[in-house]
Structure 1
Amino acid sequence: MSDRRTQILDAAATLISERGFTSTSVDDVIKGAKLSGKSHFYHYFKSKEELGYEVLNRQFERFAERGLAILREPMIDPLERLNLFIDAVVALQSESGGRRGSPFGNLAAELADAHEGFRVRIEAVFERWASQIRSLLWEARPQLLDDVDAVRLSRFIIAALEGAVLMTRVKRDLSVLEGIAADLKRFIAMHVRDGAAMQQNRSHE
């Protein structure tokens, strides 16, 4: 990826996170990326929408690299991986003091009803995220209670984390996310068989 294209994407990601997609203009991005004119912008992106789609994809790939990769680590117990993933979400938010929020949740709230292109792409992002958690839960099946629904539990985990990130951003208090993350771990533990739960607790000692 060229340096100039990276500059544009970095500037756009920051502006969209702070202002939202609708309130971020191409001129704002050009100024933020320190470009000399619109021709440089349109050399790399045909439209503001194309830029927005690329920002969304890039944000998810970064999230996948730093967060979702934990869910696929074969050398760690699957339920321990899930706890580490929750910790990673908290860590990512702590880097911005809890003020940045979720790029997926922010765009979903802003554009799901108003922009079909973004709605479809954001739905795909959440589905990719959910599929990773579902795969982990299926791997952990011997440790889970028989009535655990991996599809519903994966959606609940995402909803809890996204809601916690939103509340943290509104209150500007990272302890909100930390508390909900701890409660979410306890909720997940309620779906674990007694013997597996005891084994997992010993692994933390």
Structure 2
Amino acid sequence: MVKIFATAIATAALLQCAWAHMGIISPPPRSGIVGDQLNKPCGGSNALTRNVTTFSVNTLNDFVLRPSHGAGNLIFNYFTDITVTNDSIAHPITDVSIPTPNTYTTPLDFAKAGLKNGQSIVVQAIYNGTDHDETEQYYVCFDVKLSADADTVESDSADDKESEDAGLDSKTDDAKDESKSSSSSSAPKSALVSTKAVIGAAAGLLVAAFAF
């Protein structure tokens, strides 16, 4: 069953890349991958969600997006208003060239943008793309919490919370060794959790594919 749904995920991902205007790979956005990205600001997802990612201003933080047609530029800015409206002020972070449709990793320097640990912000990405002599803008937002304790990216998304509740959070090397000794008793439970996660991911991607 896992193999069947893995195939469904791959198929849906290919469809989504073919139809979506700006695919979101990481971190998790406000809107999910079915947001109406033509609406500004934030692709229509103006309010705080559970998809809060913790970053630190002491490191560069990667945002991975895939503009799937045309060429143009990818603009990153941020809001200090958690509920974003047309009256919210967007502060610039960076602007990068997008010469061809592809997957682009953009490291954002929050310290250079004047931000400090402890702040909660909304990062917005805008793809200003031109295809067949037509220009359109696509918008997506990310809820971000800045913390000095964030050595690596952490996400408080619903999916991550489910994994943590299922005992699938990261372990130390000693804990991993200990868990191996009891793997025979926990294998059925792990298999059920994995199947559930795969089913959920497949459903989300299929919805995203047909939404575009």
Structure with higher strand content: 2
Q: Same fold (TM over 0.5)?
A: no
Report the TM-score, using the length of structure 2 for normalisation. Answer: 0.24
Structure with higher helix content: 1
